[in-house]
Structure 1
Amino acid sequence: MLSVKNITGHKIDQHVWYTADVEWLLYGSAVSDDGEDALSVACVWRMKLLFSTDEKDEGPVQPHEHTPRSAAALGPP
């Protein structure tokens, strides 16, 4: 993980959820279809996470814009 920014809290029903903008560094090897060539590749993946500090809840998830409830909770992008 490269960075965590813009952490905000949202109350939904009886639960408090948080969102954060995060950046991940993804890296690895890319191999050609014939297996003859390989090179190292990397990219930065930016995403918004939805998470709770409640022990019963699952770990962080990436809300999808097509899910009306999670999109409404996040507000405008």
Structure 2
Amino acid sequence: MKKAIQILCVVLIGVTVMIGFRWHRYVTSSDTPYDEVGITLNGYMPGPLRTWGCHKLKERFPGQLPPYGCAGPDGRSWA
């Protein structure tokens, strides 16, 4: 039983690291703010991380429309 819990913990940590890395790569070095996987992952992030991600995307793509989840009330301005 102890071995199964240990394996489960390692798998959960591994998945968390992979998802976190993919999200961070989207926010800091994506070619476009409209990457579907990145937008989805950003939507699942806790509020402070999502806000930071949207702020970084706004800095990197100032002249483009914001992706879903980073738009203001009108849908055309950054939140």
* TM-score for both structures, normalised by structure 1: 0.22
Structure ranking higher in helix proportion: 2
Q: Over alpha carbons, which structure has the higher Rg? A: 1
Structure ranking higher in strand proportion: 1
Greater length-normalized contact order (CA 8 Å, ≥ 6 residues apart): 1
